[in-house]
Amino acid sequence: MTEQVSTETTTTVTTVYISNLPFTASEHDLNTFLNRYGASSVLIPTQTVRRFSKKHKNNPRKPLGIAFAQFANNTLAMKAIQELNGTVFQNQKLFLKLHVPYEADSPPDEDAKKLKEKKKGKKTPETASDTVYCHDLPEDITDSEIRELFQLYSPQEIWIYRSKVYKKRCIPFAPHQITAALVTLQSETPISNICDEVVKTATLRGKSIIVKPAYVSKIQEIKQLVKDNLTNARDSQAPAPALELEPVEPAEERQDNAQTNDVPPPPVSSSDRPTVAAA
């Protein structure tokens, strides 16, 4: 069954795509076959076969079974398709059609990308309007160093903490501990502009730092952890409850109770015995 040639073709295409071409056919053979139809050039794509076999040792190129024929105009190309589509060439039936040039898809713009993410259900975390997040700080960072870094924006609260980050490239997923900080500022400048200015101009111990708007969820998480730690520390410092001791009866009462219950009294200690004078 021959391929159906599409009637919706443009008048500018002059290249014909040929499939089911015999692997033994050469460009010279195909050019001779199409020369009477006005073909100006023929191209048979090949691939390089890298094998340690005697079959491909002398000629490592292998044809793909397709070819492209170039004609002077669209009329000659359409005539060749109509007359040669389904004909036999070197014991194989050929299939011809107009070649459609490949066009790469244009990259999506930012609006389309945001819309696509929104359809997927991805929600961007809410960021705070007055708090920044500082990442990859030195382990011995101090409160005064961070205040000096943000002195132009009136820092109010500073939360320094350490957390573990699991990197996918590590084997076997070893955690990487980082030191970070949440800094609450009091400034009329938008928080995104503050982050850009600090990243471009400020350095900490001669190194640039990463500053981003802080997520509201992260601020709540850190404050809750601090609250829980203070509660645990307060509970551990509470005084221990007093031990309840049973009252101890005097020796005379124990002796009276023993006589009442017909129980022989305990032996008198040497200290309670009377002193006997020597004769």
Q: What is the pLDDT of residues 84-142, one digit of tens each?
A: 999 999 999 999 999 888 777 777 666 676 777 666 655 778 889 999 998 888 888 88
Q: How far apart (Å, rounded) are the C-alpha atoms in residues 201 and 194?
A: 11
- Position 262 confidence tier, pLDDT thresholds 50, 70, 90: low
Let me know whether 87 and 21 are in one domain: yes
How many domains does the structure of the chain reveal?
2
Per-residue confidence (pLDDT) for residue 184, from 0 to 100: 92
Answer whether residue 278 is part of any domain: no
252 in any annotated domain: no
pLDDT at 259: 52
**Is residue 191 helix, strand or coil?**
helix
pLDDT, mean of residues 234-252: 58
Helices (H), 132-211: 143-149, 191-201
Looking at residue 96, what is its pLDDT? Answer: 93
Same domain membership, residue 199 and residue 153: yes
- What's the CA gap between 144 and 252, in Å, rounded? 72
- Answer yes or no: is 82 within a domain: yes
DSSP state of 207: B
**From CA 40, how far away is CA 29, in angstroms rounded?**
14
CATH at 88: 3.30.70.330
Inside any domain, residue 253 = no
Together in a domain, 159 and 211: yes
Model confidence over 171-216: pLDDT tens digits? 555 567 788 899 999 988 899 999 998 888 888 888 888 899 999 9
In a domain, residue 213? The reply is: yes
Q: What is the pLDDT of residue 57?
A: 61
Domain span at 80: 15-98
Instruction: Calculate the average pLDDT of the chain.
Output: 77
In a domain, 69, yes or no: yes
